[in-house]
Amino acid sequence: MESFAYKTPQSVAEAVQLATGEAKLIAGGQSLLPSMKLGLAAPSALIDLGRIADLRTIKVETGQVTIGAMATHASVAESAAVKAAIPALAELAANIGDRQVRNRGTLGGSLANNDPAACYPSAVLGLGAMIHTDRRTIAADDFFKGLYETALDEGELITSVSFPIPKRAKYIKFKQPASRFSLVGVFVSQGPAGTRVAVTGAGAGVFRVKALEDKLATHWAPESCAGVTVSADGLNSDLHGSAAYRAALIPVLTQRAVAAS
Ligand X SMILES: Cc1cc2nc3c(=O)[nH]c(=O)nc-3n(C[C@H](O)[C@H](O)[C@H](O)COP(=O)(O)OP(=O)(O)OC[C@H]3O[C@@H](n4cnc5c(N)ncnc54)[C@H](O)[C@@H]3O)c2cc1C
- Angle (deg, nearest 10), helices 243-260 and 210-218: 20
Q: Does 138 bind ligand X (CB under 6 A)?
A: no
Q: Does 94 bind ligand X (CB under 6 A)?
A: no
Of 112 and 230, which CB lies nearer to ligand X in the complex structure?
A: 112
Distance from C-alpha of 31 to C-alpha of 115, rounded to nearest angstrom: 9
Number of residues that bind ligand X (CB under 6 A): 31
223 burial (CB, 10 Å; 0-12 / 13-18 / 19+) is exposed
Residue of 114, 79, 81 whose CA lies nearest to 94: 79
Q: Which amino acid appears at position 55 of this protein?
A: L
Nearest distance in Å: CB 83, ligand X: 19
Nearest distance in Å: CB 88, ligand X: 14
Q: Does 32 bind ligand X (CB under 6 A)?
A: yes
Distance from C-alpha of 243 to C-alpha of 202, rounded to nearest angstrom: 8
Q: What is the 3-state secondary structure (H, E, C) of 22-82?
A: CCEEECCCCCHHHHHHCCCCCCCEEEEHHHCHHHHCEEEECCEEEEECCCEHHHHHHCHHH
Q: Candidates 94-102, 135-143, 163-171, 218-226 — which segment interacts with ligand X by CB under 6 A? A: 94-102
Q: Does 50 bind ligand X (CB under 6 A)?
A: no
- Angle (deg, nearest 10), helices 120-127 and 87-94: 170
Q: Which residue is nearest to ligand X (CB)?
A: 109
- From the list 7, 29, 94, 252, which residue makes contact with ligand X (rule: CB under 6 A)? 29
**What is the pattern of x (binds ligand X, CB under 6 A) and - over residues 74-93?**
--------------------
- From the list 171, 181, 187, 207, which residue makes contact with ligand X (rule: CB under 6 A)? 181
Of 43 and 251, which CB lies nearer to ligand X in the complex structure?
A: 43
3-state secondary structure of 224: helix
Nearest distance in Å: CB 73, ligand X: 6
Site for ligand X, rule CB under 6 A: 24-32, 49, 69, 73, 96-97, 101, 104-106, 108-110, 112-113, 118-120, 157-158, 179-181
